[in-house]
Amino acid sequence: MTVYLDKNENAFDIPENVKYEFMEYIKKTNLNRYPEKGLPSLLEKIGDFSGFNDENIIVGNGSDELLNILINQAKGDILINTPTFEMYNFYANNYGYNTVNVPLKSDFSLDTENIINKNNIKLIIICSPNNPTGNLIDMGQVEQILELGIPTILDNAYYEFSGEDYTDLLNKYDNLIILRTFSKAFSMAGLRIGYGIANKNVISNIKKLQAPFYMNVLSAKLAEIMIDNYSTVQEHVKYIINERERFYNAVKEIAYDSKANFLFLKKDLYSYMEKHDIIIRKLPLLKDRSRITVGKKEENDIAIDAIKEYISKNL
Ligand code: PMP
């Protein structure tokens, strides 16, 4: 049986009791009707849950939708730090904007000096924990960048696995928007829900760029039910963090430490792992690297055995 550890999905599906509650909701919902404009009940729920007002929250069809909108409205050069999430470049290219790349340093920290020296940047995107390297970006470095006053996205998709919370920075910096998602810790990649937290003026300006019925009622409702079941999310996150540490310790000759639900590998093991029926992420822009998602224990065991065999034969 093929093991899929390529997309940083959650190893666990949403729990059965949540699915039943969801089915009950579907039975009594008129799907011929449009969603309530702006999905106020979901915004309020996410606001309460994350400690903000609903006017500080924007929800999107995956955080991808919010990235798309934010990049579109930059209308100029966008600064990124490679290696990082490839969709930033994808959207920038779609809109014909230039990406100014200031590569991460060899320890994957931000090259703040070089970032500060760039001119005419309309939007900065920082990914933390960074995909694919897995490390957190230092809070002090993020703050140094925010001091520039340039609109800045902190893509925090792997927040729940990381132990670092950047939301205090929102009290001080109006140019910051933090993006999070239900796709990873919440096991809802198939439902497509992401959200942003920022100053209320920033949020109301972005909302103007969003279609009125941007999301379907079913995804919205399931997100609400999952927030009510947050203890299950926490259990799954704890499991994955434990597995991540076990996985890393077993293969550390070839992997970097990670604060997300994946490991960045020092070799391109894509073809080797494929021969073992394990699908990992090939990184076309990084010839000699690859990325593997932390799965369930039994999946990780298979992957660890294969990587250990690789290490013993090749290193
Ligand atoms: N940001 C990062 C860093 C990601 O890795 C991903 C998903 N792979 C996303 C954003 C997009 O997430 P979503 O499913 O919410 O669109």
pLDDT digit string, tens, across residues 85-135: 999 999 999 999 999 999 999 999 999 999 999 999 999 999 999 999 999
Residues 199 and 272 in one domain: no
pLDDT at 315 over 90: no
Instruction: Compute CA distances 67 → 19, 232, 242, 284, whole Å.
Output: 29, 28, 30, 22
State the distance from the centre of ligand 1 to the C-alpha of 28, rounded, in angstroms.
32
State the distance from the centre of ligand 1 to the C-alpha of 21, rounded, in angstroms.
27
- Ligand 1 pocket check: which of 64, 86, 126 to mutate, most ligand atoms within 8 Å of Cβ? 64
| Single residue among 211, 229, 247 that ends a domain in this structure | 229
Residues 210 and 239 in one domain: no
Output the six-digit token pair for 287: 């010839």
Q: Specify the ligand 1 atom closest to the Cα of 131.
A: 3
pLDDT digit string, tens, across residues 140-191: 999 999 999 999 999 999 999 999 999 999 999 999 999 999 999 999 999 9
pLDDT tier for residue 283 given thresholds of 50, 70 and 90: very high
Residues 154 and 66 in one domain: yes
Residues 144 and 23 in one domain: yes
State the distance from the centre of ligand 1 to the C-alpha of 171, rounded, in angstroms.
25
Q: Which residues line ligand 1 (CB under 6 A)?
A: 8, 62-64, 85, 127, 131, 155, 157, 181, 183, 189, 194
State the distance from the centre of ligand 1 to the C-alpha of 166, rounded, in angstroms.
17
80's enclosing H/E stretch is strand 77-80
Residues 191 and 307 in one domain: no
Residues 138 and 263 in one domain: no
Domain range spanning residue 261?
3-12+231-314
Q: For atom 12 of ligand 1, which residue has the closest CA?
A: 63
Q: Specify the ligand 1 atom closest to the Cα of 182.
A: 15
Residues 204 and 235 in one domain: no
Residues 225 and 86 in one domain: yes
Rounded to the nearest 10°, the torsion over CA 219, 220, 222, 226 is 130
pLDDT of residue 212: 87
Residues 103 and 207 in one domain: yes
Q: For atom 1 of ligand 1, which residue has the closest CA?
A: 157
Residues 179 and 217 in one domain: yes
- Structural domain count, the chain: 2
State the distance from the centre of ligand 1 to the C-alpha of 64, rounded, in angstroms.
6
Whole-prediction pTM: 0.97
Counting residues of the chain whose pLDDT is more than 90, the rounded percentage is: 96
- Ligand 1 pocket check: which of 7, 69, 87 to mutate, most ligand atoms within 8 Å of Cβ? 87
Residues 166 and 255 in one domain: no
Average pLDDT, the chain: 97
CATH number of the domain encompassing residue 251: 3.90.1150.10
State the distance from the centre of ligand 1 to the C-alpha of 238, rounded, in angstroms.
20
pLDDT of residue 40: 94
pLDDT of residue 304: 98
pLDDT of residue 244: 98
Q: If you write DSSP's letter for every residue of 192-250 in order, what string do you get?
A: --EEEEE-HHHHHHHHTTS-TT-S-HHHHHHHHHHHHTHHHHHHHHHHHHHHHHHHHHH
| Single residue among 204, 229, 254 that ends a domain in this structure | 229
Q: What average pLDDT does the segment 267-294 reach?
A: 96
State the distance from the centre of ligand 1 to the C-alpha of 158, rounded, in angstroms.
8
| Single residue among 229, 259, 275 that ends a domain in this structure | 229
CATH number of the domain encompassing residue 186: 3.40.640.10
pLDDT of residue 153: 98
pLDDT at 310 over 90: yes
pLDDT digit string, tens, across residues 1-57: 999 999 999 999 999 999 999 999 999 999 999 999 999 999 999 999 999 999 999
Q: For atom 6 of ligand 1, which residue has the closest CA?
A: 157
Counting residues of the chain whose pLDDT is more than 70, the rounded percentage is: 100
Residues 242 and 285 in one domain: yes
pLDDT at 77 over 90: yes
